Amino acid sequence: MNWSWLEPLVAVVGLAVLTVLTRSFFMLPEREMPLPDWLKRGLKYAPLAALTAVIAPEILMAHGELIATLKDARLPAVLCASGYYFWRRGILGTIVVGMLVYLPLHIGWGW
């Protein structure tokens, strides 16, 4: 009998159980768990740190190495998008400006 379907099934069920347990961990106690002030202050910066950790390599690296040329469409796109954000403070506009600069340079000119 071929049991090749069992391994993926066990993996999916195991990951589902693990996800439910870890996501519900904070809802299990009946009262709120006190956090130290230093931890509360540190958790304020966690989203920014995670976003930086994801975006910075995408901007500064290509094929696992730092970019070595200024002829990369990501650099002007980041500069223009950052400028727009500091001017207007709008996230959607920042994304639109960045893509309006990036796409013509990348697709049109091959940067």
This prediction has a pTM of 0.61
Q: Is 88 helix (H, G, I), strand (E, B) or coil?
A: helix
Q: CA separation (Å) from 6 to 3, 18, 111?
A: 6, 18, 47
Q: What is the pLDDT of residue 1?
A: 63
Which residue blocks in 1-111 are alpha helix, DSSP H? 6-24, 37-43, 46-60, 74-88, 91-103
How do residues 76-93 score in pLDDT, each as one tens digit?
A: 999 999 999 999 999 999
Give the separation between CA 74 and CA 57, rounded to whole angstroms: 11
Report the distance separating Cα 61 and Cα 22, nearest Å: 33
Task: Please give the DSSP secondary-structure letter assigned to residue 32.
Answer: P
